[in-house]
């Protein structure tokens, strides 16, 4: 079957356009406003190897807080080199009894690898509310699908350390407890939507900094 020459010309133009728009990388220029597709690129002529190296995950985070845990991110804001590449990382430090509360990453899936200690981790499916959780030890890896509620708890007798990677340079984060109780939504509405009693809601608002 002969292909019309007009189709060949259009297809060729599309190929040329697509190849012309391809870039090796786009290091974020954080001095410019963010956009839905990421930060604008820094001038490639002004880049150096330092733009592709991040040294911020070598130090433990401060776990002296209500959750006894710390998350140290290497997202676009901290590591401009990952801008537009569909990847990022973070370090999790959990003191004894530490917990990363139930939360979601609306923009990315997550992979966790345990470096030290013992971590109980899991997620909840959105279709049947099925819970998948397991106690992880050094060297174990677990994946958390994009947008699903998940958690990590230090279930050992010593501090725990893990590194996580994300399928986006800006994975986003919403912690369920803070979303519900660290806001100004009136207590009666929180009671109505969570089935908790008013006293418990007020207590949680007080602990997490909510009002009303």
| DSSP calls for 134-189 | EEE-TT-EEEE-TT--EEEEE-SSS-EEEEEEESSSS---EEHHHHHHSS---HHH
Q: What is the pLDDT of residues 118-149, one digit of tens each?
A: 999 999 999 899 999 999 999 999 999 999 99
**Pair 137, 188 in one domain:** no
CA distance 113 to 139: 6
Q: What is the pLDDT of residues 80-124, one digit of tens each?
A: 999 999 999 999 999 999 999 999 999 999 999 999 999 999 999
Residue 15 resides in a domain: no
Token couple for 54: 């991040």
Distances (CA, A) of 71 to 147, 166, 210: 18, 13, 22
pLDDT mean over 172-183: 90
CA distance 72 to 57: 7
Residue 33 resides in a domain: no
Q: What is the pLDDT of residue 4?
A: 57
CA distance 65 to 83: 30
**Residue 8 pLDDT > 50, yes or no?**
no
Long-range interactions of 136-143: CB distance < 8 A, separation 24+: 136/112, 138/114, 139/113, 139/114, 140/113, 140/114, 141/111, 141/112, 141/113, 141/114, 142/111, 142/112, 143/109, 143/110, 143/111, 143/112
Residue 93 · residue 159 · CB < 8 Å: yes
**Pair 119, 186 in one domain:** no
Q: How large is the angle between the packed helices 198-208 and 187-194, nearest 10 degrees?
A: 110
Token couple for 55: 């040294």
Residue 27 resides in a domain: no
Task: CATH number of the domain at 102, please.
Answer: 2.60.120.10
Distance from chain centroid for Cα 9 = 43
Residue 117 resides in a domain: yes
Coil, helix or strand at residue 90: strand
What pTM was computed for the model?
0.83
Residue 43 resides in a domain: no
Could you tell me the residue range of the domain that residue 196 belongs to? Answer: 179-208
**Pair 138, 200 in one domain:** no
**Pair 114, 153 in one domain:** yes
**Of residues 194 and 5, which shows the higher confidence score?**
194
**Pair 187, 84 in one domain:** no
Neighbours of 23 (CB within 10 A): 8
Per DSSP, 15 falls in state: H
CA distance 143 to 37: 25
Residue 135 resides in a domain: yes
């Amino acid at each position: 079957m002969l292909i019309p020459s007009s189709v060949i010309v259009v297809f060729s133009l599309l190929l040329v356009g697509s190849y012309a728009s391809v870039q090796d990388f786009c290091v974020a220029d954080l001095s410019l406003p963010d956009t839905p597709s990421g930060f604008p690129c820094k001038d490639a002529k002004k880049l150096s190897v330092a733009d592709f190296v991040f040294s911020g995950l070598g130090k433990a985070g401060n776990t002296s807080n209500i959750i006894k845990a710390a998350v140290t991110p290497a997202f676009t804001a901290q590591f401009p080199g990952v801008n537009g590449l569909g990847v990022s990382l973070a370090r999790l430090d959990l003191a004894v009894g530490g917990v990363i509360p139930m939360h979601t990453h609306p923009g990315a899936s997550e992979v966790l690898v345990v470096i030290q200690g013992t971590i109980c981790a899991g997620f909840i499916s959105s279709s049947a509310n099925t819970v998948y959780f397991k106690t992880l030890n050094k060297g174990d890896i677990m994946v958390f699908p994009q947008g699903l509620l998940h958690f990590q708890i230090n279930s050992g007798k010593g501090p725990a350390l893990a590194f996580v990677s994300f399928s986006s340079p800006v994975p986003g984060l919403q912690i369920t407890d803070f979303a519900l109780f660290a806001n100004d939504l009136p207590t009666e509405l929180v009671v109505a939507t969570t089935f908790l009693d008013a006293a418990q809601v007020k207590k949680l608002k007080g602990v997490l900094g909510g009002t009303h």
